[in-house]
Chains A and B, each alone.
Chain A
């Protein structure tokens, strides 16, 4: 029996990323090692997706500089390497945010990714949980130097479940890997090449394989979105709750995105890197089409409690009062003096009144919220 044979654990490898050392198992990639450290030293990743075999290496946002190859061979690597696909070596030293080269290259990649991206965030269902938004806020420049018409595509209809916006796609290939590895047959792929490459089914066909809904979860941008959730609500107004049901096809463990008692959307549970989490048995928690698209009633689910939202802060904002609020720093840096208020906007406008706690109302704030407050004040 394999379990009976006691193998000595292979020696851990020490890798130093931005002067922080961590010991990892052999075979770990630089990106995974950096994620163990966490925080700012973790390179962003747009195409790598841990549960998908063969993903990564394409978007080039996770480029890092290897300043020392290993203990045995201390030569630095001449080029920047994709940290998601480069394994660690013992004694390796990696520079991420401490390297100007890396920061420059990454800003370049962000600019490239945004060249032909429509930036239609105000009408995009992904806005608020979009990795490209996060990436451009964290690593991009404020403007673009691109002065030409953006590339557009002919529209393809992928059927009743999935909406494709090819103009938003960054060609990460995650959905292709998902269809290959999670569904029984891949029906879509990348057609054409270069900047006119597109995700499509070649002959207009709908994507309706079971488990194909997972391509929505893996899509880092708003290229593949849920048709049953389309334009229903902004994600930051919905409240995510962990829930489960007995499903004979999948693990049945999901996140419900609710507004009041209405279930607007069902997704797989994701970890802090936006990747679908493993369940207790170590299996990836992909969910089936039935759970995702058909079960939109609270009665179908056993609710476990609110989902912890950490990374995609815009979703977390206004939901839970327990969130840490940043300190007031103005007084500190001004030697104890408070900033001089030229005009207190709250004295002339009802909007954004600090006495209205937005986290306590269900849904977006409207005039009615503030007016109602006035009414109650008046009656008091």
Chain B
């Protein structure tokens, strides 16, 4: 799996170039070169793009979607496709958190309460998927259930809590000039990657995702894996919901429906991030680091286009093109490496 990466890491620039030429088909090289040329041109010509302030803006912009994408990556890598209930889990979580905060329970208790709800939501979906339910159908149903409960609970109203409150440090605070949400994104990215690469659980994720039959034969059932990965994804959704609610001191069930970015729907954007990162939709190949970089990459392109004065239409188009481009390039790259094997 990491053979190609290890070869590139130990190579000198000249031999690296030669190996790239040898290992990849001309169409992949042309596509990537073309894309890099457009990207670099955009970077250099965008006003104030290469400033520290703007680079911090890019990572901060990627943070919330990136954290959700990291959670979803565990599900995808384990071969359970996607959770189509990411934004609804976030909607339920944000209502739970804001309701607890507005009732005066304080940050710690509200956080714990929200995480327990998210954990239950993840375990429920994971159990149904692990029992053989189709992930698409199960999570579509769960999405309706969670959104319905959140709507009913909040009576479709905005739930607000007054400042100052104990969650402000997470929503609006910063450390060494970096927003705390950005720091959380970086820490979660590192932790998730370490867990995936170096823990037994991480190896099981890859094993079951790559070959479920082999996993079963070695005693690793998808039932517990589906529960664990769905729980991780739900907890990541809940964390994002808490961070966003802490920032705006309020909650509404629709905060994650159409409000996140010009590409609209939060779930779609999160799935797009996982795809742009080059993770295999069938499982077994990819990493959370890829998803984190995918989030930063989408944010970078969007940022660059705003600096160039593009309005929302072309930016949505750009995200769509990036997904198509990533799928084509990564499919070609993997086909090439399989042919070499």
A and B part of one assembly: no
